A = this chain, B = another copy of it.
Amino acid sequence: MLMKRLISIVVLLPLLALAQDKDSVMIKKFSDEILRNGTAYDLLYQLTKQVGGRLAGSPQFAKAELWGKAALEHAGADEVILQECMLPHWVRGGKDKAVITELDKKKTTRALDVLALGNSMGSNGKTITAEVLMVADFAELERRKDEVKGKIVYYNYGFNPTNVMPFVSYGQVGIYRRSGPSRAAKYGAVAVMIRSLTESTANDPHTGAMAYTDSLPKIPAVAVGPRDADYLWSIKTGFKVSLQTNGKYLPDTIGHNIIGVLKGAEFPDEIITIGGHLDSWDVNEGAHDDGAGIVHTIEVLRAMKALGYRPKHTIHFVLFANEENGLRGGLKYAEKAKENKEKHIFALESDEGGFTPRGFGFSFKDKSKLAKVQSWLPLLRPYGTDRMIDEGGGADIGPLASIFGTPMSGIIPDPQRYFDIHHARSDVFENVNKRELLLGAVNITGLIYLIDQRGL
């Protein structure tokens, strides 16, 4: 036994070292290729400046599809599949307006910078003028529910600055954006305003998806810029707001997930998915959210082709059609995968921006697999990955994980600046740094390479 163990150690250790070495050499090649010749930044320029904001259903989204197909082809996909998928078509319909009135005896007015929440219904061409009921949170709304009728409810619930991780704060406040309107409508509110979900020092308001409870009136809802929110909260009572929004749904349109395929040499029927979402909010260029994820995805493909790397498994490079206000893209991708009896062994999403990568989060049913990928940390640490944590994934690949139990992962870029620009006008190309963006692609490529080589 001892002898046998000794032999295995003597035989296996050098093999292991060899594998480590081969993989670290290959990852360094990927890194050099991407940092030297990467096109992600230039592609992002095209997507943000030549296509622009591209909410699902919009003409710009159709343009983005064509751009994405061409980009995947140019990067060297074996084939590019357009996977049809019906898209919601919400439009903002015009400029969102809110003005404080009757602030004092002189009847001074003051405009607020607001954006209608995505999916919210407009005020039908009318201006709603009503007293504002200011509440700190849902608890206060419940306590004061008898005061709500006929008023505009304003929720001041904001990020907790003491959370080091802003995604924790976002998790805590998101429900005010999603459900705040219907919770106020339940008590007779005529409209809702929320503090923008951000800690930004600028006054840009932050839109984002909301959803009505079907049985309740669909009242207008806006996000207020953070500095205007501070101002509102400081005056507290005794004023009215005149509000006009114009949101509405047009009929669903036909759209597509754009899927670049690189066929696997050894296990062509086993699929690894990498993706981001092609749609963005209408008010910005969708540079970090999620232009970054889109160009990360394309860059991984480009780098593999540039180095002549033929994966063992088939890789799908997916530009998902509709994450922001419907998730139709991710749902369709999973539905089709089920229909076609595909075997999905791993899925990774990049949808937290193009900032310096710090690691990955993983959702494994079998937790022992986490330890396995964590053992690869030394191979990725030179490129910025310093954490591989339990929990992670992405909205678009969630349905795949639900249906198949596919292990999924999300890249974790440095999160501190994300909510400055998230769903705000400031999510533009100029706020993306080239090296940070490319390093994201380096780390994703490294991880995908290791999974492809070593399996899970």
Using a CB–CB cutoff of 8 Å, the interface residues on chain A facing chain B are 31-32, 35-36, 41, 161-162, 164, 166, 199, 201, 356, 358, 382-384, 386-387, 414, 416-417, 420, 433-436, 439, 442
Contacts and interface: CB of A to CB of B under 8 A. Distances in A.
Contacts of A417: 433, 435-436
A382 B36 CA distance: 34
Nearest to A28: B162
Contacts of A161: 35-36, 435
The listed residue with most B CB atoms (<10 A of its CB), out of A31, A416, A442, is: A416
A32 B161 CA distance: 8
Nearest to A381: B387
22 contacts: A31-B162, A35-B161, A35-B162, A35-B164, A161-B435, A164-B383, A164-B384, A164-B442, A199-B434, A199-B435, A356-B356, A356-B414, A356-B416, A386-B387, A414-B414, A416-B433, A416-B435, A416-B436, A416-B439, A417-B435, A417-B436, A420-B433
Given A416-B356, A416-B439, A433-B417, A164 B387 contact: no
Contact of A41 (B162, B166, B201, B433): B201
The listed residue with most B CB atoms (<10 A of its CB), out of A41, A164, A358, A434, is: A164
Contacts of A358: 386
Given A201-B41, A417-B433, A436-B417, A162 B386 contact: no
Which 3 A-B residue pairings sit nearest by Cβ, starting from the closest? A386-B386, A32-B162, A416-B435
Integer count of this chain's copies in the complex: 2
Given A201-B434, A434-B201, A382 B414 contact: no
Contacts of A35: 161-162, 164
Contacts of A36: 161-162
A56 to B, nearest CB: 30
Given A433-B416, A433-B420, A164 B439 contact: yes
A163 to B, nearest CB: 8
A414 B199 CA distance: 20
A382 B165 CA distance: 9
Contacts of A31: 162, 164
Contacts of A199: 434-435
A204 B166 CA distance: 32
A87 to B, nearest CB: 34
A35 B201 CA distance: 14
A162 B35 CA distance: 5
Contacts of A383: 164
Given A417-B435, A420-B433, 10 more contacts: A31-B164, A32-B162, A164-B439, A164-B442, A199-B435, A356-B356, A356-B414, A386-B386, A416-B435, A416-B439
Contacts of A439: 164, 416
A161 B420 CA distance: 28
A382 B386 CA distance: 13
Nearest to A420: B433
A382 B201 CA distance: 24
A353 to B, nearest CB: 13
A199 B436 CA distance: 12
A99 B99 CA distance: 52
A164 B162 CA distance: 31
Contacts of A384: 164
A32 B387 CA distance: 24
Contacts of A382: 164
Nearest to A438: B161
Contacts of A420: 433
Nearest to A45: B201
A439 B383 CA distance: 22
A164 B382 CA distance: 8
A420 B436 CA distance: 12
Contacts of A414: 356, 414
A24 B436 CA distance: 31
A435 B166 contact: yes
Contacts of A387: 386
Nearest to A387: B386
Nearest to A437: B416
A176 to B, nearest CB: 20
Contacts of A435: 161, 166, 199, 416-417
